[in-house]
Copies of this chain bind each other. A is one copy, B any other.
Amino acid sequence: MPKKTRPTVRDVAALAGVSVATVSYVVNGRDNRIGADTRERVLAAVRDLGYVPNSSARGLRKRRTERVCLVIGSLGSPVQEQLVRDLHAAAEADGYGVLTLIVDSPAHAAHAARLLRQGLADGAVFFDSARHFGDFGELARGRLAMVVVDNSVAPDGFDVVRTPEYEACGEALDHLLSAGRRRVAFLGHRHDLELDDRSARLAAYRDALRRHGLEPDGRLVGAGADSRVEGYRATAALMALPEPPDALFVASDRAAISAIWAVRDTGRTVPGDVAVLGVGNLEEGSVIHPALSTVGQRQIDFSRVARLLFERLAAAEPPAAREIVLPWSFIPREST
């Protein structure tokens, strides 16, 4: 029967016949000043007991947890999977653990902020979740290293990563409109519509129409980008209009793919009758027929984002807040 309580340094020290300091040195790799045989005895005791240092005690003493946190808006997008991978890789290299907080509402954001303020981790990357938070600056001042991927937030004791969505979407829409499409619909995320003028995708849409001498038609603007199901439904509704659109600008690739499907289910063709343009550059979009035209990072890569965080963590003094821009472009394929 194993012991009921987890072993501590003292148990290891007793078993190995050394002091707790020696155990600590060995466990933390500061064992250049420890005799080889002593080290072996300690390691054996660690193994026998299944000793693992308690992270609360260690965190209390060292005043850092050696963990970082990924705060993410939702599950479900391959883009985020790449971020997870890149962050894990960088963390591993620096000996950090990674944990994830899922924040898809202001309530969850408050929850996450509390955990972070309590010292859950030493650093955090916020992705697709900034809109749910109130004051990032306050969190950053609580000695948390932070990188925020968001276009509507200004550096304030933390780094910011931007994506030039407005420009890239504008270019894609110009392409659509120059090709003669005249009734272009916009299917946004709910928060695009709530943000209204502060949504880059919606603004790009409106401005592009005006550049081409068209006035936005309220009936062609709505929600539908948040999920595949909503994308399908919204598109079906649009296609049932007396004057259906001849092009769809959908603010997510996932919903755009459903939109293609929905268009075809009404007997129309893509891009013949209706062009479809997505956002995000999912791999899936390049595999289907017709391949989805989209806007996003050509090669999805968040290693620079991860690097920002770990540079910040490694710095002795809080470095100046930086701001970087990820490369976004229009990626034309077959659906437009």
Chain A residues near B (Cβ < 8 Å): 2, 4-6, 50, 52-60, 65, 67, 69, 74-78, 80-81, 84, 88, 92, 97-102, 108, 111, 114-115, 117-120, 138, 141-143, 227-229, 232-233, 258, 261, 265, 283-284, 287-289
Which of B50, B59, B97, B108 is within 8 Å of A115, CB to CB? B97
Number of copies: 2
A114 touches B6 (CB 8 A): no
Known contacts: A50-B138, A76-B76. The answer to whether A229 contacts B284 by CB under 8 A is yes
What is the CB-to-nearest-CB distance from A9 to chain B, in angstroms, rounded to a whole number? 13
A56 touches B52 (CB 8 A): no
What is the CB-to-nearest-CB distance from A54 to chain B, in angstroms, rounded to a whole number? 5
A229 contact set on B, CB distance < 8 A: 283-284, 287
How far, in angstroms, from A227 to B81 measured CA to CA in the complex? 12
A102 touches B84 (CB 8 A): yes
Known contacts: A59-B56, A100-B99, A142-B6. The answer to whether A233 contacts B287 by CB under 8 A is yes
A60 contact set on B, CB distance < 8 A: 54, 56-57, 60
B233 touches A120 (CB 8 A): no
